[in-house]
Amino acid sequence: MWLRPRTEMLNLELDWWNWQDVPMESLASVALALINLFYVVAALLSIRRRMPGVRVLWLFIVCRSILLATLPNPEPRYTLECFAAVLMLAGAGLARSSRLTSEPESSRRYS
């Protein structure tokens, strides 16, 4: 569900895996899935960060995924609430660590 291309609202064929019927729409769907994969991988990079709020966002995503795993008929649209958190975590994962994880300048000691 997390890596499925979100093509429901677009003017693309929903059966994106049928390359013979609509090759350009299938290519567009695969490109959207790769962008989705990029955001998920970038969000996974935020796990190693010690930034405020990262753990809370991951807790929300994990709890939502566990809830969806218990449903008898989950739909991919149920993960859409998590994509705001995924985008924020992707930003945290791709941010420069030297500036964000270092001590504030007011607490540094200069000799």
Residue 52: inside a domain, yes or no? Answer: yes
Question: Rounded mean pLDDT of 4-27?
Answer: 71
Residue 85: inside a domain, yes or no? Answer: yes
- Rounded-to-5 percentages of helix, strand, coil across the chain: 60, 0, 40
Q: CA separation (Å) from 35 to 22, 32, 87, 109?
A: 20, 5, 12, 43
Residue 30 domain boundaries: 1-95
Please check the confidence at residue 93 and state whether its pLDDT lies above 70. Answer: yes
Higher local confidence (pLDDT), 28 or 111 = 28
d(CA 81, CA 78): 7
Residue 103: inside a domain, yes or no? Answer: no
Report the percentage of the chain scoring pLDDT > 90. 3
In total, how many domains does the chain have? 1
Higher local confidence (pLDDT), 41 or 49 = 41
109 pLDDT tier (thresholds 50, 70, 90)? low
Long-range contacts of 65-71 (CB under 8 A, 24+ apart): 65/2, 68/1
Average pLDDT, the chain: 77
Residue 104: inside a domain, yes or no? Answer: no
To 10 degrees, what angle do helices 83-94 and 23-44 make? 60
Would you state the pLDDT for residue 65? 87
